[in-house]
Amino acid sequence: MKHPKRWEHQHEPTPEGDEWIAFGGQHLWVAGFTEAGFPYGLTEEEFRAANARYDPEAGWARARRILETVIRKSVAPSAVVDIGYVKKMGEGLSRDIFAAQVEIAVSSTRGVYEIAILLPRGCDPNIDERTRKEARLLADLATMGLPFRVPRIFGVWPDAGHLALIRGFERGVELDLRAGRQARVRPWETVAKIAVTIHGITTNNLPWLEPRYSTRRDHALAAIREFDEICNEPEATDARAWMQEHLPPAGPSTFIHGDLLGQNILLRLGEPDAVIDWEYAQFGDPAHDLAIVTRGVRRPFQIAGGMDRLLEAYAQAGGAEMEVAHVHLHELALAARWYQDALNGDSPHAPAQQLQFLRSLLRRASTGAS
């Protein structure tokens, strides 16, 4: 076929029989050519399939393949499944997060769902164990009638030598922990209410969950061991001594989220808040969850007395006895870990910067500053 001059010698078939044209400095996939020689495009479904075929290792393509398999296995054989967009939404500590829109039709019933696919990233040797745990935990939490939303679990599936997690995609605005200066926003109250609810889940509800410290003090003693890797630093000796003097009570441990960052608390008008990313959940010291929120900064929530406001809201919501020192203890353990990460090249911050942060935090803890 003779094509118009502008396309001539600019298209060629691939081994699979598809064609592309060079136009405007770009390669464009085409479905074919009209009798007059003009190209015409792919349908939306053909376009998606072509993209996935020619970039099969792209995260979105892997997410799409996993989703197709898991969804088709979880619905009736007669169901019609149409997967729309698949796009990257962000990154967690060890996983890339993709969202997809899926339309499922069974008989006369049709529904549209948003689903998240969490693909493992890097060489974390414990990611599969945490993924299995999170999948089982989401299934259990869904039965507890909690006052906040928890993602629906669809399953896990092998990906690149590890396990991907497939769950419902929860929409909402991330809780801004820096918004304390805005009169209408009280993030410490939101955190406190959610934390108290989480900490109230008993071991009888989750008898299988590990890791599990017997007491709050056991968790605190384990946190002190974060300084083992930096024992040559003078700050390590001083921090250990201070932490040993400020251990929490030896009362029973509680269920904790383990990563209660603002980005894992989603707010949506007219709906309960959502809490996501449960892979670090365990039984331990509830002060650890609050330390994840305050993170050792001088002014939590960017307001004076931010730590005091959080602990006051926590107590008013029915939380266990909590002192500023209990939170500082876990903040120090976090600071030691961040310094070690910087030494290993796993941090965006220089080791000297992280060590200075540790020194400053230890000074404030030693003076009783909140």
pLDDT in tens, 202-250: 989 999 999 999 999 999 999 999 999 898 899 999 999 999 999 999 9
Pull the structure tokens for residue 97: 């997060």
* pLDDT, position 297: 95
Residue 293 and residue 310: Cα distance in Å, rounded?
Answer: 10
* pLDDT, position 176: 93
* pLDDT tens-digit map of 174-197: 999 986 656 566 999 999 999 999
- Domain segments of the chain as ranges: 11-51, 56-168, 173-366
Contact (Cβ atoms closer than 8 angstroms) between residue 260 and residue 292: yes
Pull the structure tokens for residue 11: 């298209």
* pLDDT, position 11: 42
Q: Read off the pLDDT band of 342 (50, 70, 90).
A: very high
What's the fold here for domain 173-366? Aminoglycoside 3'-phosphotransferase; Chain: A, domain 2 (3.90.1200)
Mean of all residue pLDDT scores within the chain? 86
Judge whether residue 25 has pLDDT over 60. Answer: no
Q: Just give the CATH number of 56-168.
A: 3.30.200
Residue 45 and residue 261: Cα distance in Å, rounded?
Answer: 38
**pTM of the model as a whole:** 0.83
96, 133, 134, 175, 351 from 279: Cα distances, Å: 14, 7, 5, 19, 27
* pLDDT, position 13: 44
Range 223-227 contact pairs with CB under 8 angstroms and sequence separation of 24 or more: 223/285, 223/288, 223/329, 223/330, 223/332, 223/333, 224/333, 226/333, 226/334, 226/336, 226/337, 226/340, 227/333, 227/336
